[in-house]
Amino acid sequence: MFRALVVDKDAESGKTSAAVREIAVADLPEGEVLVAVDYSTVNYKDGLCVGPGGGLVRKYPHVPGIDFAGVVEDSSDDRYTAGDRVVLTGWRVGEAHWGGYAQKARVRADWLVPLPEGLDSRRAMAVGTAGFTAMLAVMALEDHGLRPDGGEVLVTGAAGGVGSVATALLAALGYQVAAVTGRPETEAYLKDLGAARIVAREEINETVKRPLEAETWAGCVDAVGGAMLARVLGQMKYGGSVAAVGLAGGASLPATVVPFLLRGVNLLGIDSVMQPYDNRLRAWQRIARDLPMDKLEAMIQPATLSDLPQLGADILNGKVKGRVVVDVNA
């Protein structure tokens, strides 16, 4: 038996409830690899899965947690043996498949990545899907020509999980980072991560009638979408790229094609869930090499399984700063 956060749904009211319970290994879903989980984390999707479901969870009872890191206990796949350190993000684990909010998880071998040297389980979960997504975004921008001497790089939603890691990564790689936030109390935090300047959300959050404005940003990691993304597209330098990683500001895009046609702007979609293995491995190796660990430590908010119902609600309400690291064994 082991402990897990189990979410259940009342058949009559449709309301969900989450509580820490004892479950058995035999209760776990099928998979080739059994992992003793060390740490997990909290992402926006986790908030939905712990709480209302958000259409992500189809079957109850359910164990959420879209990320985890730990040690292989047993494997029927030759790629992994007992004692191997592994990390998992994506593949709809924690949504369609039981996830990491438990002391043990059983998953498909294809979904795992070996933990690279330089990262332990705790730091891997300080990174988590948010940091993994940030690294994918930075890699995509670099693959499309972004260089440190090209000008300022904008990060929207900078105090959130993706934005925090993107800010720290870009600054460590030598970029001048302009961090957008609507929370003035996070300005010192963002500057400590390496932001060269702070841009108030209201300065960039309104739709304008002009399809093009002054060329300002060499690149952008955008976690907001909506009107802010539309505005940023019109402010990009010639040939610049925006890596779109989120929709905190809405799924609509009230933009025109003019920035693409007259300035050669690129809009790069970043998906972390179904990334191929080789690119996952590349991203995790880059994280271990390029992300300053002292900055990562500054983002960490520790938590336990019993904290998750409240943290799930908090992240849905925009009240979580940085990265939550959940010690599932505490």
- Could you tell me which of 217, 218, 155 has the C-alpha nearest to residue 191? 155
- Domain ranges, residue 221: 129-269
Task: Verify that 77 and 185 share a domain, yes or no.
Answer: no
Are the beta carbons of 31 and 74 closer than 8 angstroms? no
Q: Is residue 324 within a helix (H) or strand (E), and if so which, with residue range?
A: strand 323-327
Residue 194 within any structural domain of the chain:
yes
Task: Verify that 204 and 247 share a domain, yes or no.
Answer: yes
pLDDT per residue, tens digit, the chain (330 aa), is 999 999 999 988 989 999 999 999 999 999 999 999 999 999 989 999 999 878 899 899 999 999 999 999 999 999 999 999 999 999 999 999 999 999 999 999 999 999 999 899 999 999 999 999 999 999 999 999 999 999 999 999 999 889 999 999 999 999 999 999 999 999 999 999 999 999 999 999 877 778 999 999 999 999 999 999 999 999 999 999 999 999 988 899 999 999 999 999 999 999 999 999 999 999 999 999 999 999 999 889 999 999 999 999 999 988 888 899 999 999
Residue 69's pLDDT is what?
A: 98
β-pairing verdict for 236-244 and 217-222: parallel
Task: Verify that 61 and 137 share a domain, yes or no.
Answer: no
* CATH number for position 86: 3.90.180.10
Residue 264 within any structural domain of the chain:
yes
C-alpha 314/C-alpha 297 separation (Å) is 21
Task: Verify that 323 and 258 share a domain, yes or no.
Answer: no
- Tokens read off for 139: 């890699």
Q: Under 8 Å CB-to-CB from 75, ≥6 apart: which residues?
A: 32, 33, 34, 81, 82, 84, 109
Residue 204 within any structural domain of the chain:
yes
Task: Verify that 147 and 264 share a domain, yes or no.
Answer: yes
Q: Under 8 Å CB-to-CB from 257, ≥6 apart: which residues?
A: none
Task: Verify that 134 and 100 share a domain, yes or no.
Answer: no
- Give residue for tokens 């989120």: 246
Which pTM was predicted? 0.93
Task: Verify that 98 and 143 share a domain, yes or no.
Answer: no
- Could you tell me which of 169, 132, 166, 140 has the C-alpha nearest to residue 284? 132
Task: Verify that 45 and 152 share a domain, yes or no.
Answer: no
3-class SS of residue 147: coil
| Angle at 174 (CA atoms; ends 238, 194), nearest 5 degrees | 105
Give residue-wise pLDDT tens across range 207-235. Answer: 777 899 999 999 999 999 999 999 999 99
Task: Verify that 136 and 261 share a domain, yes or no.
Answer: yes
C-alpha 312/C-alpha 5 separation (Å) is 12
Residue 274 within any structural domain of the chain:
no
Task: Verify that 160 and 259 share a domain, yes or no.
Answer: yes
Number of compact structural domains in the chain:
2
Could you give the maximum distance between any two Cα atoms of the chain, in Å? 62
Task: Verify that 201 and 137 share a domain, yes or no.
Answer: yes
Residue 278 within any structural domain of the chain:
no
SS3 track for 110-127: HHEEECCCCCCHHHHHHH
Residue 205's pLDDT is what?
A: 86
